[in-house]
Amino acid sequence: MDNTTLLATLRRRHPSRFARHAAVNVGPGWHGIIVDLLARIDRLLSPEEVLVIHAIHGADGTLSMISLAHGGTAAAVRTLFDEARAEAARRCECCGRPGIPHQVGEGTRIRCHEHTEANDG
């Protein structure tokens, strides 16, 4: 699945959670983590609680999310996101198998043994 398809799928499942110009840009190995994160957020939040996601991306081997929510909602979402980020730190961005940080080009990426040299997350 590419990121365009992932975002379209997430918008269908969670129509109120993404800003109009939201962007999702993570390696295919992390797509399942994002799908699970959104499902967990929807189970946690009441329908009245507003969360608007503007961006989810991988930055130097770390899962990152830019979103807007109010006080208690933001804190609850932060807890779930921190768990997703910890999971991503252990998963190859290419394939989702167990991985560790590797230097790839100018930056750091999470890679399994097989994808150590892969440049395209």
Residues that bind Zn ion (CB under 5 A): 92, 94-95, 112, 115
Q: Which is nearer to Zn ion, 10 or 27 (CB)?
A: 27
Least distance from C-beta 30 to Zn ion, angstroms? 11
Q: Which is nearer to Zn ion, 24 or 94 (CB)?
A: 94
Q: Which is nearer to Zn ion, 70 or 90 (CB)?
A: 90
Least distance from C-beta 114 to Zn ion, angstroms? 5
Cα separation, 99 vs 88, in Å, equals 9
Cα dihedral 12, 18, 19, 24 in deg (nearest 10)? -100
Q: Which residue has the tokens 């779930």?
A: 80
